[in-house]
Amino acid sequence: QVQLVESGGGLVQAGGSLRLSCVASGRTFRDYTMGWFRQAPGKERELIAAISWTTAYADSVKGRFTISRDNAKNTAYLQMNSLKPEDTAVYYCVAKSAMVLAPPKSPTLYDYWGQGTQVTVSS
């Protein structure tokens, strides 16, 4: 069993930055695909970034968000720059128990989820 704990969410003005962190339990972190989903009120969860053998980003965040990982610290990060009010959502860290060439977009293909952290961007 893997536990994921997110941190770094909060309230920020439009144009600002936040960095989310996700610490994973377990000794095989380097073998996991890691990702971040978000869910805004009334909307479905969407994959915004994932990192495995390659990285993938939603079109809405390309050029603004960067996903990275530190295998020595069992931690994944999401650096969010140039934040917009439409980025307001609950952000979830996810893990898939395999490295893949193309990180999947479907939430059902991820094995573990964090509890979520709120990001609110004011205009």
Q: For residue range 47-84, list pLDDT tens digits in order.
A: 999 999 999 999 999 999 999 999 999 999 999 999 99
**Predicted pLDDT at 49:** 98
Q: What percent of the chain has pLDDT over 70?
A: 100
| Rounded Cα distance, 99 and 110, in Å | 12
Distance between CA atoms of residues 58 and 48, nearest Å: 5
Mean pLDDT within 34-49 = 96
* 116 close to 6: Cβ distance less than 8 angstroms: yes
pLDDT band at 98, cuts 50/70/90? very high
pLDDT at 27: 77
